[in-house]
Amino acid sequence: MTDFPKGFVWGTATSSHQVEGNNTANDFWLMEHTEPNMFVEPSGDACDQYHLYEQDVLLLKELGFNAYRFSIEWSRIEPEKGEISHAELEHYRRMTTFIRDQGLTPIVTLHHFTVPVWFACEGGFASKDAPAHFANYAGILADVLGDVWGQVCTINEINIPMRFFHDGFLKDQARFAPFLEAATKRSGSDMFSTYFVGDIDAAADGMKQAHQLAVKAIRTRSPSVPVGLCVSMQDEQAIEGGEALRDAAVARCIDAFLDVTKGDDFIGVQTYSRSVYGPEGKLKVPEDAETTQMGYEFYPEALEATIRYAAAYTGLPVMVTESGIGTDDDSRRKAYVETALKGVQNCLADGLDVQGYCYWSMLDNYEWMLGYRPTFGLIAVDRVTQTRTVKPSAQWLGDIAKANAF
């Protein structure tokens, strides 16, 4: 049995749109309800965590976790431009305070993919006013939550649109055109732009500025809270001849975003698998490799490599803000996390400052375009009765958290 450092953070993670339910004022809800659309099903009630957060937090406490990473839904706080909902602010204050009162650290994400429809209608993060809007929202949250939140992640996976774009997934605009056309029509704005669709370069710049302005806005009001950015990373490997393409992808999709973390308190690392580049580009996952429900290669070793990369590049302490697997075989979840945690321990043994590990996800939840099919959760959810069923992996990881040893 090897101990983790005292104070090591053991969390699980979720995001507002994936678990709260009925986030009717954001861009995803709008896109889920156009005809045609790119979602296998709408988010609907999700896991109704908006109402059930107390029982969920108590469950996490009972299992042994000492942190909960969740996100605030901007479209609830500011459903129309400049119109702030004090009742929703109060909701998140109650929830954050409850988490803290139960002895868990509330790790609060300000932006996890969704934005209010009005913001998307102005061009999303590609609009010139976007960074200021986001910083304003961050400041409002800091005014209300500044004495109760424990750690803040400004933007979740700031680099994912660029990664998808670079990999070709978003390059095929023709594939997305009918969906975007339907969403544009429904939104009533020709500028409608979301996290995944629109001017990706301009949006990336906007998000980088938004992060930096938000950090400032938070520091002025809530100076002692650690603030950081969450970056999606894979172990980027190359076979002979693939090095240049790998390096180009890393420079554009990862380094360019890590560059805006100077002066932050931590870097949030989120990892699910690896990428391997050959002379022609990214290689397909080998036929004989074990894959997850997402089609990713089962490769938990990636976590160690990405922690090392992020720590070396930024010089910041690392928080693992997401690591997990979509599988219907819970024993593979344990195997995945076990290897991932061994990687964390190897980093710690080498003196790296790894502050915590948040498993994605607490609950089986809304996996965006794939709906409720992939199951990442430590806890299953009956979406009619909203009954939670704890999986063996949750008990197992909770026991590790309680013992702070593995």
- Which of residues 185 and 373 has its CB atom nearest to ligand BGC in the complex? 373
Considering only residues 20, 88, 322, 330, which one is a binding residue for ligand BGC as defined by CB under 6 A?
Answer: 322
CA distance linking residue 205 with residue 259, whole number of Å: 12
Coil, strand or helix: which one is 13?
Answer: strand
CA distance linking residue 287 with residue 177, whole number of Å: 32
**Shortest Å distance, C-beta 120 to ligand BGC:** 18
- Which of residues 144 and 207 has its CB atom nearest to ligand BGC in the complex? 207
Q: Which two tokens stand for residue 289?
A: 């490799």
* Closest by Cα among 348, 251, 363 to 3: 348
Interaxial angle between packed helices 392-403 and 330-349, expressed in degrees from 0 to 180 and rounded to the nearest 10: 20
Considering only residues 26, 125, 367, 393, which one is a binding residue for ligand BGC as defined by CB under 6 A?
Answer: 367
Instruction: Please tell me what DSSP assigns to residue 254.
Output: I
- Which of residues 26 and 156 has its CB atom nearest to ligand BGC in the complex? 156
Is the preceding peptide bond at 43 cis, omega within 30 degrees of 0?
A: no
Residue 248: what residue type? Answer: A
Please report whether residue 156 would count as binding ligand BGC according to CB under 6 A.
yes
**Shortest Å distance, C-beta 113 to ligand BGC:** 6
Q: How many CB atoms lie within 10 A of CB 24?
A: 13
Per-residue contact string for residues 264-293; x = within reach of ligand BGC by CB under 6 A: ------------------------------
What DSSP element (H or E) covers 87? helix 86-101
**Shortest Å distance, C-beta 2 to ligand BGC:** 28
- Which of residues 148 and 267 has its CB atom nearest to ligand BGC in the complex? 267
- Which of residues 45 and 147 has its CB atom nearest to ligand BGC in the complex? 45
Give the binding-site size for ligand BGC (rule: CB under 6 A): 10
Please report whether residue 360 would count as binding ligand BGC according to CB under 6 A.
yes
- Which of residues 18 and 105 has its CB atom nearest to ligand BGC in the complex? 18
- Which of residues 148 and 158 has its CB atom nearest to ligand BGC in the complex? 158
Coil, strand or helix: which one is 71?
Answer: strand
- Which of residues 151 and 184 has its CB atom nearest to ligand BGC in the complex? 151
Alpha-carbon Rg for the chain in angstroms: 20
* Closest by Cα among 13, 27, 90 to 56: 13
Please report whether residue 15 would count as binding ligand BGC according to CB under 6 A.
yes
Per-residue contact string for residues 217-256; x = within reach of ligand BGC by CB under 6 A: ---------------x------------------------
Coil, strand or helix: which one is 109?
Answer: strand
Look-up: residue for tokens 């156009």? 34
Q: Are 380 and 338 in contact (CB under 8 A)?
A: no
Please report whether residue 92 would count as binding ligand BGC according to CB under 6 A.
no
**Shortest Å distance, C-beta 83 to ligand BGC:** 27
**CB contact set of 325 (below 8 Å; sequence gap of 6+):** 272, 292, 298, 300, 332, 333, 336, 337, 376
Its sign, for the CA torsion 235, 391, 55, 398, is: negative
Distances (CA, A) of 335 to 13, 95, 339, 396: 19, 32, 6, 11
Please report whether residue 157 would count as binding ligand BGC according to CB under 6 A.
yes
Please report whether residue 78 would count as binding ligand BGC according to CB under 6 A.
no
**Shortest Å distance, C-beta 336 to ligand BGC:** 13
**Shortest Å distance, C-beta 188 to ligand BGC:** 27
**Residue 226: alpha-carbon gap to chain centroid:** 17
**Shortest Å distance, C-beta 225 to ligand BGC:** 21
- Which of residues 124 and 139 has its CB atom nearest to ligand BGC in the complex? 124
Coil, strand or helix: which one is 277?
Answer: strand
Per-residue contact string for residues 114-153; x = within reach of ligand BGC by CB under 6 A: ----------------------------------------
**Shortest Å distance, C-beta 270 to ligand BGC:** 6
Q: What are the residues binding ligand BGC (CB under 6 A)?
A: 15, 18, 156-157, 232, 294, 322, 360, 367, 376
